[in-house]
Homo-oligomer: A and B are copies of this chain.
């Protein structure tokens, strides 16, 4: 993978920077705290894997001479591109399971090289796996492609990391798809701009990955989905390059961009996009609103979403999340409410939103904070971005620790929440003997919320995979049975396929297959993701 951190090195097996990985004394203390929370005996600490212990299967592919200069088959590159960053990936990694590494990792430096790799893969009968930041939590970058392929090539877009053009009049930027979040923001900052898209994977995910998976940013309403920032795309497919016209809006046929948004690398490799950017916010107001119950908080979030106030933040935490994430241990639900603007003070907006909260028994013990700097929002984001390091630590401690998410219409929410909660608790009680489950809203729409669940359960090394698979199936079945989507912003990948196959209309799958056959006649790209032959 690309190494935008200068002297820092990306962990080849887990989340993030090697020097940020939780270890030593810190890890021991975490183990004690978790054992107390879960009421289990001491947790067994498994050491992180060592690259020198790995024996990767020999590479089955040799790139042609013309591609050699940007291809690699060394152990670090192959190991680092073997897994994404799901709980299952993390478990496999610390147990040294690197049984399906890519045979070659390509680091193309321009579109021509992307096309050349695709050509080679098609002619060699190999699978091509597009790789952005490698942060997939759904098996989206896995190279486990099956015997019908003669090998797998991971295509790491990390070298395509430049903002190529800024259009100050339209407030838009032409950006290469391989750029990771921080490098993108760094290039926009001197112009006073931001893409204002901050998924939790922000540090280690790429623009192309966000586009290919329909990423949701951490803002709660309106402009938050990456989909809505797209003016045009360039996509290299095995059949040729697709470029859509740069437009602020259009009604000329079905949107070409919307075919590629969410296509998860099965139709082509997104190489470039014109994206709407925004001025950096200068006016802010935030408030932490406490509610007697989650239902009261949900009703307030409902009212705010339907009032078209468009808060930047409208994150409802259940009492469990309020305690762990915000230190509110009074058993109340917490709505983290925030407004931002680059143009005007947002007092009127916040005043109306807190009025609506009061209608549903919400109180604001600390009052509304206004500020021109990021303050609390920035601090929250930092801790939000650090959470995945904790997940890897919990894996080392032998726990089951994962999140899943969905969205549903408001009329289904109470039942979905209740039934998912029940199904998951029943499942982890059965398979792990206990656990905790918490819920928050990551996004709210006028017609429904996006609930996000976090599971922590005691397990033991060797059982984590099978236990999680059982819990995940119970969770996914309950989500689907209660009107949810199998994913609101984590994507489908390979892991969500059984439920996605039930959710999507069968005839739509057929059209997707026919589109793939048109753009990728040899079915070279990302086999197993979204559709199968």
**Interface, chain A (partner B; CB < 8 A):** 167, 169-172, 213-216, 222-223, 225, 231, 237, 239-256, 258-264, 276, 278-279, 302, 306-310, 341-344, 347-349, 352, 407-411, 443, 445-450, 483-492, 496, 500, 503-508, 510-515, 517-519, 530
Contact = CB atoms under 8 A, between A and B. Distances in A.
B507 A447 contact: no
Nearest to A261: B254
Contacts of A248: 407-410, 445-450
A196 to B, nearest CB: 11
A281 to B, nearest CB: 10
Given A263-B253, A518-B507, A410 B169 contact: yes
Contact of A483 (B246, B255, B409, B490): B246
A490 B249 CA distance: 13
A485 B409 contact: no
Contact of A507 (B242, B306, B407, B496): B242
Contact of A251 (B241, B409, B483, B489): B489
B172 A409 contact: yes
A264 B259 contact: no
Contact of A306 (B214, B256, B279, B410): B279
B253 A259 contact: no
Given A248-B447, A409-B170, A485-B247, A253 B504 contact: yes
Contacts of A214: 251
A247 B490 contact: no
Contacts of A513: 518
A344 B449 CA distance: 22
A256 B411 contact: no
B170 A240 contact: no
Given A247-B407, A508-B242, A487 B231 contact: no
A262 B256 contact: no
Given A258-B258, A514-B517, A517-B514, A252 B500 contact: yes
10 contacts: A249-B445, A250-B488, A252-B504, A253-B512, A253-B530, A276-B447, A278-B446, A310-B310, A344-B348, A514-B514
Contact of A249 (B253, B352, B448): B448
A354 to B, nearest CB: 12
Contacts of A264: 253
Contacts of A254: 258-263, 512
Contact of A167 (B302, B409, B507): B409
Given A511-B519, A517-B514, A252 B341 contact: no
A526 to B, nearest CB: 12
Given A308-B341, A514-B515, A488 B259 contact: no
Given A167-B411, A215-B251, A485-B252, A242 B505 contact: yes
B447 A256 contact: no
Contacts of A347: 348
Nearest to A254: B262
Nearest to A228: B228
A14 B285 CA distance: 54
A252 to B, nearest CB: 5
A484 to B, nearest CB: 8
Contacts of A491: 251-252
Contacts of A352: 343-344
Contacts of A258: 254-255, 258-259
Closest 3 CB pairs of A and B: A248-B448, A348-B348, A248-B445
Contacts of A506: 240
B407 A250 contact: yes
The CB with the most chain B CB atoms within 10 A, among A213, A488, A518, is that of A518
Contacts of A490: 251
B172 A252 contact: no
Given A248-B445, A255-B258, 6 more contacts: A170-B410, A171-B306, A308-B341, A310-B310, A343-B352, A511-B514
A326 to B, nearest CB: 25
Contacts of A276: 446-447
Contact of A503 (B245, B410, B443): B245
A399 B411 CA distance: 54
Interface core residue of A214, A484, A496 (most chain B CB under 10 Å):
A214
A255 B508 CA distance: 9
A208 to B, nearest CB: 15
A133 to B, nearest CB: 17
Contacts of A343: 306-309, 352
A507 B240 contact: yes
B252 A486 contact: yes
Given A256-B504, A514-B515, A170 B448 contact: yes
